[in-house]
Amino acid sequence: MSVELGRWSDARRILCVRLDNIGDVLMTTPALRALRESAPGRRIALLAARACAELLPLIPEVDEAIVYDAPWVGHAGEDPGPAADATLIEALRGARFDAAAIFTVYSQSALPAALACRLAGIPLRLAHARENPYRLLSHWVAETEPQAQVRHEVRRQLDLVAAVGAAAADERLSFAVQARHRLRAQECLLRLGVAPDSDWVLVHPGASAPSRRYPAELFAAAATLLHRALGCPIVFGGNAAEVPLVNAIRRAARAPMPSLAGALDLAEYGAAIGLARIMVSNNSGPVHIAAALGTPVVDLYALTNPQHAPWGVPHRVLSHDVPCKYCYRSVCPQGHHACLRGVAPHEVAAAAIELFRGGRPRRRPCSTLPDGTNRLLHQQLA
């Protein structure tokens, strides 16, 4: 690739494309920061999926958000049809971006997004690509994963922007907690009888993909062991859709355990994660929120892919090795769930106790926003 760094250094309005899930967007925030900080006066727009809309105002590196469910990425809900794609291209054309950086995992193709950016008249287009993109990309970084290497997702995206001269001094994830979010989380904890500034454990048993969920009965057993060993509150969390799962686990546990599930929005739940001494979770978006906020994590890591462990925070990754690992499937193709089912509850409890007793290095998140600030020009495309 012949990289024309001069043209990128002149770019002031950059479109960043990340069209999958909340965790993927969070793991891209160091690369967004690198792009934003590598030239004075730069502004970053992020093209992201509707499922990430609640997250976007919480990322300080993003000045503008465009919400769009790409037809080449799996999303729930009705397909709006080609008219939505034409609307996107016209919106991008009207924004007159100088450059676009397209972020993907190595199993995804960047070329559909590259075509959309070309049709929108964006002159500089950067991405990893396995096949020769010809004129779809102006700056092509050859795909080397998984054959030659497998990098953490954060490192992969930092390496991509480094190819056009962008680097960040701070490589932590971003998630901005405002005081009002923290106050709301504290109020909910107090109603549950949990002192927010005390030592307590947050358990997050949900995940968007069934293949990434530790079995409910094993979660209940692990939570019971933790309660007996630590003698502190074990608090369950999750979104409204995960309330039935959380309640089923709480009923199976052999100790009373309060629940925040469904009571908080994403920003408030992030604040609660930041207040917990440790979190025990499936490998899902909240794991990466915890990493951004410095909360140690026991990560029940289904072996669907190797790249998404917690970044930059004390953690323990638990899984059971299986021949079918790295399947990249949302539902276990073998039906046995062995990569998670093979992790015994006492192993989960032991890892959590080790992190809990090791002490938590309290730190400020890498960025915060003042109360009442909404920095985003937020555009939802019909």
pLDDT digits (tens, 9 = 90+) for 22-57: 999 999 999 999 999 999 999 999 999 999 999 999
Domain assignment of residue 365, yes or no: no
Query: Based on the domain organization, do 198 and 336 belong to the same domain?
Result: yes
Q: Is residue 149 very low, low, confident or very high in pLDDT (cuts 50, 70, 90)?
A: confident
Query: Based on the domain organization, do 141 and 280 belong to the same domain?
Result: no
Query: Based on the domain organization, do 74 and 146 belong to the same domain?
Result: yes
Query: Based on the domain organization, do 148 and 212 belong to the same domain?
Result: no
Average pLDDT rounded to a whole number, residues 65-88: 88
Domain assignment of residue 351, yes or no: yes
- Structural domains in the chain (count): 2
Report the first-to-last Cα separation within the chain, whole angstroms: 37
Q: Is residue 369 very low, low, confident or very high in pLDDT (cuts 50, 70, 90)?
A: very low
Residue 86 is part of a domain; what is its CATH number?
3.40.50.2000
Query: Based on the domain organization, do 243 and 325 belong to the same domain?
Result: yes
Q: Is residue 269 very low, low, confident or very high in pLDDT (cuts 50, 70, 90)?
A: very high
Give pLDDT tens digits for 297-331: 999 987 666 778 899 999 999 987 766 656 566 67
Domain assignment of residue 105, yes or no: yes
pLDDT higher than threshold 50 for residue 380: no
Query: Based on the domain organization, do 164 and 215 belong to the same domain?
Result: no
Query: Based on the domain organization, do 188 and 108 belong to the same domain?
Result: no
Range of the domain at 289: 179-357
pLDDT (0 to 100) of residue 76: 66
Question: Whats the size of the chain, residue-wise?
Answer: 382
Average pLDDT rounded to a whole number, residues 139-157: 92
Average pLDDT rounded to a whole number, residues 88-94: 96
pLDDT higher than threshold 90 for residue 239: yes
Query: Based on the domain organization, do 343 and 254 belong to the same domain?
Result: yes
**33-37, 85-89, 346-350, 374-378: segment of lowest average pLDDT:** 374-378
Closest CA to 214 of 281, 290, 314: 281
% pLDDT > 90, the chain: 74
CA dist list (Å): 172 to 60, 275, 289, 297, 310: 13, 18, 11, 15, 11
Higher pLDDT among residues 4 and 154, named by residue: 154
Domain assignment of residue 10, yes or no: yes
Distance CA 64, CA 70 (A): 18
Q: Is residue 11 very low, low, confident or very high in pLDDT (cuts 50, 70, 90)?
A: very high
Domain assignment of residue 362, yes or no: no
Domain assignment of residue 200, yes or no: yes
Domain assignment of residue 233, yes or no: yes
3-state SS track over 285-342 = HHHHHHHHHCCCEEEECCCCCCCCCCCCCCEEEECCCCCCCCCCCCCCCCCCCHHHHC
Distance CA 48, CA 64 (A): 11
% pLDDT > 70, the chain: 86
Query: Based on the domain organization, do 147 and 199 belong to the same domain?
Result: no
Query: Based on the domain organization, do 55 and 68 belong to the same domain?
Result: yes
Predicted TM-score (pTM) of this structure: 0.90
Query: Based on the domain organization, do 148 and 191 belong to the same domain?
Result: no
pLDDT higher than threshold 90 for residue 226: yes
Please name the residue that has the structure tokens 């397209």.
Answer: 102
